[in-house]
Each structure stands twice: as C-alpha cells, then as structure tokens.
Amino acid sequence: MWLVQDRAFRWYILEQGKYRQQQADSLGMLSSPFLPGLRLDVQALLRGEMSRVLSIKSDTILCVPKVSRRKVNPSNLD
C-alpha cells in the first residue's frame, strides 16, 4: 500500500487469515514470499527513483502466476 501523502509504503502478507505488515530488511528491501526474487527498494520508491525500483529484478522470476484480486477487510490489518 503506497501512502503518497505520508511518504510511506506498507506491504502486507496474508497469514492464517490475517494481513500482517512485512518489515523491510537491513537494506531497506521488501521481498515477496510468493514470487521468489521479487524485491522492492522502498526508499527508492519513496524518492521517486523509478529507474532504480525497476532495475531490481531477478532471473528467478521466469513467469508470474495468475494472481487473483481480493477485497481487503481493514479489520484484518495489523
């Protein structure tokens, strides 16, 4: 979730029926537990450095499975 006015980005993971906010690693990166190799440089995103954001990729992402959209219930967010 990109909170533009707050200059923040939150990445939630569904675990046991509840959404948990994932914390960035020591390098400021968020990693997808569902798409191996998918990483997001949060600070580059917030600074508007989209070329940096897009340059972070991995050869391990060979294909992206169909991802279904889910309605998020705000009461499930930590």
Q: What are 27-69's pLDDT values in tens digits?
A: 888 888 877 778 888 888 889 888 888 777 644 454 555 555 6
Find where tokens 């705000």 sit.
Answer: 74
Confidence at 76, pLDDT banded by 50, 70, 90: low
| Integer Cα distance of 8 and 47 in angstroms | 10
Q: What is the pLDDT of residues 1-12, one digit of tens each?
A: 888 888 888 889
| Integer Cα distance of 37 and 65 in angstroms | 14
Rounding to the nearest 10 degrees, give the CA dihedral for residues 26, 10, 35, 25: 10
